[in-house]
């Protein structure tokens, strides 16, 4: 049997696949594929329509924006993902970005290396604690719950939430304070993004969100590029409309080296690595291979 895979996965998962199937790293002959595994690659409508023998399209992770799900449905090919498997890793990375920007860890590191901090206690090295601050979350899925737990248990933060999938009563039962989308930006000290990229959520965080936001706000997006209008974010950061921002994901990946955001000291960049821990990759790899083997009737 032939399975498409053109992204790195956990060595243990790759070893299991190699023991039972032939791994194909291209879409030259989709009609020969029995299953498709997607991590960062795109699975287009053209490929799916030609994959007449495919029994499963498996996403390594949660987001399905790289797979033409509608075409797969039309062709009768199941599409599966691994929700929640890397949630803890993404949550820890989200909080790491919050801490870095609050205490200017990366900025101080760069300035120290360049000899730009000649003495102790310079004003530009004074940051903020997370403790007792207000966290606002966009989305209420697995990652949001993990972020909330870390922030409440570790920093006694009050957690606000805006979700289009849950009522205010449901949000309260989760232990969060329900607020409107715009209120998050005005009443919270941190806003973290944990939702899917869809046509409806594209550039949902835009210039309008920054017009009346808390000037001390720190924005973190570890979900999907395209949720944040990067030009609007640059202009708001440069104008001091919010304090800082961190993006682990960009609309164009990898981002261009001349991205204007990179010129700002109050901006922190990642490379879609929130879920990239050895532990999460092991969990994801096992879940993906288990799913593929079940679809193909392989006992492995």
Contacting residues for 234 by C-beta, under 8 A, at least 6 apart: 260, 261, 264
Based on the fold, state whether residues 20 and 148 are members of the same structural domain.
no
For residue range 4-42, list pLDDT tens digits in order: 999 999 999 999 999 999 999 999 999 999 999 999 899
Based on the fold, state whether residues 163 and 52 are members of the same structural domain.
no
Based on the fold, state whether residues 47 and 176 are members of the same structural domain.
no
Sheet holding 190-193, edge to edge: 177-178, 158-162, 134-138, 190-193, 218-221, 244-247, 267-269
CA distance 257 to 77: 38
Q: How many domains does the chain have?
A: 2
CA distance 4 to 43: 10
Max distance between CA atoms of the chain, in angstroms, equals 67
Q: What per-residue confidence (pLDDT) applies to 107?
A: 95
- The per-type count for the chain, helices as H runs and strands as E runs, is 11, 12
Based on the fold, state whether residues 291 and 150 are members of the same structural domain.
no
Q: What is the DSSP letter of 32?
A: G
Based on the fold, state whether residues 282 and 148 are members of the same structural domain.
no
Based on the fold, state whether residues 42 and 144 are members of the same structural domain.
no
Read off the CATH number of the domain in which 56 is found. 3.40.50.720
Tokens of 280: 């999460």
Distance between first and last Cα of the chain: 13
Stretches in the chain below the pLDDT threshold 70: none
Dihedral sign (CA 247, 248, 253, 257): positive
Based on the fold, state whether residues 79 and 91 are members of the same structural domain.
no
Rg (CA), the chain: 21
pTM equals 0.91
Q: What per-residue confidence (pLDDT) applies to 113?
A: 96
Based on the fold, state whether residues 154 and 108 are members of the same structural domain.
yes
For residue range 237-280, list pLDDT tens digits in order: 999 999 999 999 999 989 999 999 999 999 999 999 999 999 99
Q: What per-residue confidence (pLDDT) applies to 300?
A: 82
In the numeric block, the tokens 């996403």 are attached to 59
Based on the fold, state whether residues 151 and 11 are members of the same structural domain.
no
Based on the fold, state whether residues 58 and 176 are members of the same structural domain.
no
Based on the fold, state whether residues 101 and 204 are members of the same structural domain.
yes
In the numeric block, the tokens 């903020």 are attached to 128
Structural domain including 170 reads 87-269
Let me know: does 201 contact 249? Beta carbons within 8 Å: no
Q: What per-residue confidence (pLDDT) applies to 289?
A: 98
């Amino acid at each position: 049997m032939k399975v498409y895979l053109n992204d790195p996965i956990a060595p243990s998962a790759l070893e299991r696949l190699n023991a039972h199937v032939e791994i194909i790293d291209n879409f030259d002959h989709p009609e020969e594929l029995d299953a498709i595994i997607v991590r960062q690659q795109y699975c287009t409508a053209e490929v799916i329509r030609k994959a007449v023998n495919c029994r499963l399209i498996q996403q390594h992770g949660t987001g399905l924006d790289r797979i033409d799900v509608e075409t797969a449905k039309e062709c009768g090919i199941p599409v599966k993902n691994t929700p929640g498997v890397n949630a803890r890793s993404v949550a820890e990375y989200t909080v790491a970005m919050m801490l870095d920007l609050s205490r200017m860890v990366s900025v101080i590191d760069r300035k120290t290396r360049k000899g730009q901090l000649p003495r102790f206690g310079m004003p530009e090295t004074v940051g903020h604690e997370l403790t007792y601050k207000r966290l606002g979350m966009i989305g209420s899925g697995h990652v949001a719950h993990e972020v909330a737990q870390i922030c409440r248990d570790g920093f006694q933060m009050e957690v606000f939430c805006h979700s289009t999938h849950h009522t205010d009563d449901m949000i309260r039962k989760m232990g969060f304070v329900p607020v409107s989308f715009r209120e998050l930006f005005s009443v919270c000290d941190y806003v973290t993004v944990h939702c899917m990229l869809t046509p409806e959520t594209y550039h949902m965080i835009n210039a309008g969100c920054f017009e009346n936001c808390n000037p001390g706000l720190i924005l973190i997006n570890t979900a999907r590029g395209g949720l944040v209008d990067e030009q609007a974010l640059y202009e708001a950061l440069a104008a001091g409309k919010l304090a800082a921002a961190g993006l682990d994901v960009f609309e164009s990946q990898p981002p261009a080296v001349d991205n204007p955001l990179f010129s700002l000291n109050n901006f922190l960049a990642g490379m879609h690595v929130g879920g990239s821990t050895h532990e999460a990759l092991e969990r994801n790899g096992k879940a993906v291979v288990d799913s593929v083997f079940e679809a193909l009737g392989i006992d492995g």
